[in-house]
Structure formats: structure tokens, C-alpha cells
Amino acid sequence: MKHSQSKSIFDFYGKPGFGKALPLSLQHILAMIMGAVTPPIILAKTLGLSGADSALLIQVALFFSGLSTLLQLYPIGKAGSRMPTIFGVGFAYLPTLLAVAKSGLDAGTAPADVVGSIMGAQIIGGVAMVIVGLFIKHIRNLFPPVVAGTVVLVIGLSLYNVAINYMAGGIGSPTFASGNNWLVALTTLGIVLICSQFGKGYFRLAAIIIGILAGYALAFFFGMVDFTKVADAGWAMVPMPMHFGLSFPIEAIIPMVIICIVNSVQTIGDLSATAVGGMNRELQDKEMEGGLVGNGITTLIGSLFGSLPTSSFSQNVGIVAMTKVISRYVLGVAAVFMILAGLLPKFSAVMTTIPAPVIGGATIIVFGMITMTGIQLLVKDELSSRNVTIAALSLAMAMGIHAAPNAVAGLPDMMKSLTNPVIIAALMSFILNIILPKKTLADEARDREAIEQEMNGTIATDSVQKKVTTEAVS
């Protein structure tokens, strides 16, 4: 199908001049770049990867963030939503990735080999995403807001300890919990808050970047920044497949498949919000299917090169809804810049020099926003006794086991792979939503009326019986 050569930024097929598109593209990059590079940074630090491997994880994350966005904007076959959305390596997978990493390290597996097991599991997860996308029209009713909201809520809550530990300097650091670490972390957090709440224009949009730069400068003053990795990194590199190899341990595959399916719920929500907020219409089935299939294919192919799973970026959805700028050319320029950044190892190496307290101070508010997004999703459904039970029980079990991991230490490895809080929340809310009777607030009100009438009838009957008995005795 041919489309008019519109230059409007408010037309999906519009192609404005590069000078007009660039600043609009920049705000999308500023909003998502740290979200894309922080998961590989945290995973690399958790595993203790070498500087070269750490830089590679970040480099490939940037490259596939741009590539996945381009696929959504310019679909190939059934892959791609043809919606003004930004996709990239996302936070939603981080709790599962860290759980798989910890399990591998505890088993004595070398850090690089743990990454290989994550990539192998991710291939299966990508296939699961594609399958969900192809059949989403038939199973969409299985993921109502009460299920999606509970899962997103637990994702945010389960990441708080990660942020706090990084604010303190990172577990294993010789300066863990030192005053300098907390000063850097709180300064970073304070700058982010000031810019996001009092700033205007790009200063407000780029609050996280500005906070990180301020925290980075303070950390440099305290001698916490090491540029050795930057000096050792090359200027350009093309991602090569199978750097970390592939393995397929079942204890990694199960949680990865589940989180990939669960993340599809978030993708549906983001695409729907883009359609309603940015384009003033409902999301079409074809767009929903293409978005999920495209994300699955990007996740699958990315695993061959060392990229972590991709997902939609909610913060960029907010930008589209606020500005109504839906030109895919604008978002495409942002995607191209991300790809170019992924091909420059020097840039990736600079990302690895960011000290843990800076990352923690900048991301704790992001994790908090994920939690609030979960709450917003929850209240989209009626807070009926049924829905409250689903959310409450799922939340209690997920966060309870997360707070007391020794309680499941005696379970078989297969079962322990399912004790990640996000997995518990997803499974429990999904199952409860299927088996619990579907009752609205109106249904519950009618049930209470029926119970009250029944009780009143019983009381009346008892009174009559008591009167008859008394008269007989008299």
C-alpha cells in the first residue's frame, strides 16, 4: 500500500525534515537509553564478567534495542506492529535473569557460561513469544488487568533490594555501605527528582541522564571511576554470533519462558496505550499480533548475539501520548542512533565505568515507577472481593518467598526455578483468575442481600418456633 508523502510529525507515515525530527528523536533516546543499558550492566556486575564481556553485553543491548524498534516501525511480514513505539532491552526480565544467574553461580558454573545458559533459555522464550502473538486473539481474555497489574507490581517490588544494594556500593565491594557510596547515590537520586519535578522541556525529560552525569562527576571526584576498560576497548566492532555459546538447562528455560509470556501482557498494554493516547483509536488485532511476533523474533535472534530480551518501553509510550508525535521517521531516527551506538565499543565501555551507587540512585525511582504502573493496572478492574483475593494472595506468596528464600531451599531444583517472585505472581494470578468464580461488585452485593434475607428468614423461623414451644409449656 502506498501512502502520501506527508511531512507531518502527527502522521505515522509522515517524514519531516531531519533537523525537525532530530530533537524529537533525541527525547526518545534520552528517555530509554539508561533503561536499555542498565539491565546488562547489573547482570554483568552480578556475574563478575570481564570488562570485555561486560562491554559486549551493553553494546549488543544498544544494537538490538535499535533493531527491535525498527522492526516495529517497518514490519517484515507478520513481524512488527506498525505502531509508533520504542522497543529495547527492558527491566521486566531483570529479576528472572538475576535469579538464573545466581542459580548458575551457586552451581559453580563459570560466569560466561551462565550467560550462555541465559541465551539458550532466551531462544525458547522467544519462540514462546511468537506463539503467544500468533494466538493472542484467542487467549487475550486470560490476561485481564488484575493479572497484568499483579505481575507488574511484583516486578517493581522485587527489584528494590537490587537498587538498595547498588546504592550501598554493590554486594562484594570492599567499600560496601560506605558514606561516600551513599552520598553519591543520594546525590544522583536528588538530581533526578529535582529535574523530573521542577525541570522543564528536555531537562524534565532527561532527568535520569542528568542525575547520572551529576552522580558520575561526584564519583569521579571520590576516585570511584576506572577508565581502564575504555582504554582497552576498540573503536568499532560488529556483533558476532555465539560469543557466549548456548546451553539449555531446564532450570533456566522454565522461568525464562514464563517471564517472556508474562511480558507479552505488558507489551499488549503499551501498544494499546499508544493506540488510544497517541492515535485516538483502539489497538487492532493485527497490530497486537505483529507487535508480539516481532518482539519474539528480536528476542530470539538477539540471543544468538548476546542481547538480553526486548520489550516495549512504557516511558516512550507516555511521550507519544503527551506529544501526539507519531511519525515513524522520528522514532526511526532514534532507532538508527541506538544501532550506531551499539557498534562503538568505546561507548559501551564508558557505560561500564558507571559506579554502582550511581546506577542504584538513578534506578530506584524507575523501579518505583514500575510498581506504580502495576497499581494503575490493578485498579482498571473492579476491586471486587474476587480480584482483591487474586492480587493479595499472589502478592503475599511472591514477596513472602522472596523475603524468606530459605523456606524453599529444600525443594528440588526444578521447583526452585519457579520460586522467583515474578514467576510466582504470574502463575498464581493466572491460575486464580481461571478457577475463581467471576463475580462483579454487583454480583457480590446480590450475594450479600441473599445471605441477609436467608439469615432474617432463619431468625424469624426461630422466633416462631420459640413462641410455639413457650405456649405449649404454659
pLDDT digits (tens, 9 = 90+) for 250-266: 888 988 998 898 888 77
> Tell me: the pLDDT tens digits for 362-381?
888 878 877 887 888 888 88
* H helices present in 222-327, as ranges: 228-232, 250-279, 285-305, 314-323
Q: How many CB atoms lie within 10 A of CB 242?
A: 11
pLDDT at 416: 67
Q: How far is CA 276 from CA 226, 281, 287, 368, in A?
A: 46, 5, 13, 25
Q: Which residues of 166-197 are buried (b: 16+ CB within 10 A; e: fewer)?
A: bbbbbeebebeeeebbbbbbebbbebbeebbe
Q: What is the mean pLDDT of residues 179-195?
A: 95
Q: What is the pLDDT of residue 319?
A: 75
Q: Which of 128-132, 218-222, 278-282, 290-294 has the lowest mean pLDDT?
A: 278-282
Confidence (pLDDT) at 20: 82
Report residue 463's pLDDT band, with 50, 70 and 90 as the boundaries: low
| Residue 143: band (very low, low, confident or very high) from pLDDT cuts 50, 70, 90 | confident
Say if residue 58's pLDDT is above 60. yes
pLDDT tens-digit map of 68-82: 999 999 999 999 999
Average pLDDT on 45-60 reads 88
> Regarding predicted confidence, which is higher, 125 or 414?
125
Residue with cell 509510550: 317
CA-based max dimension of the chain:
107
pTM of the model: 0.75
The pLDDT tens digits of the residues spanning 82-97 come to 999 999 998 778 888 8
Report the chain's C-alpha Rg in angstroms: 25
Q: How far apart are CA 192 and CA 61, in angstroms?
A: 24
Residue-wise pLDDT for 85-129, tens only, equals 999 998 778 888 888 898 888 888 899 999 999 999 999 999 999
Q: How many other CB atoms sit within 10 Å of the CB of residue 306?
A: 27
CA distance 74 to 61: 20
Rounded to whole angstroms, the Cα distance separating 352 from 390 reads 41
Instruction: Give me the percent of the chain exceeding a pLDDT of 90.
Output: 39
> 13 or 265, which is more confident?
13
pLDDT at 437: 92
In degrees, rounded to 5, the angle at the alpha carbon of residue 253 between the alpha carbons of residues 250 and 254 is 90
For residue range 272-289, list pLDDT tens digits in order: 878 877 888 878 889 999
What does pLDDT average to over the chain? 86
- Position 469 scores a pLDDT of 62
Query: Rounded to 5 degrees, what are φ and ψ at 89?
Result: -60, 125
Percent of the chain whose pLDDT exceeds 70: 93
Compute φ and ψ for 178, nearest 5 degrees. -75, 160
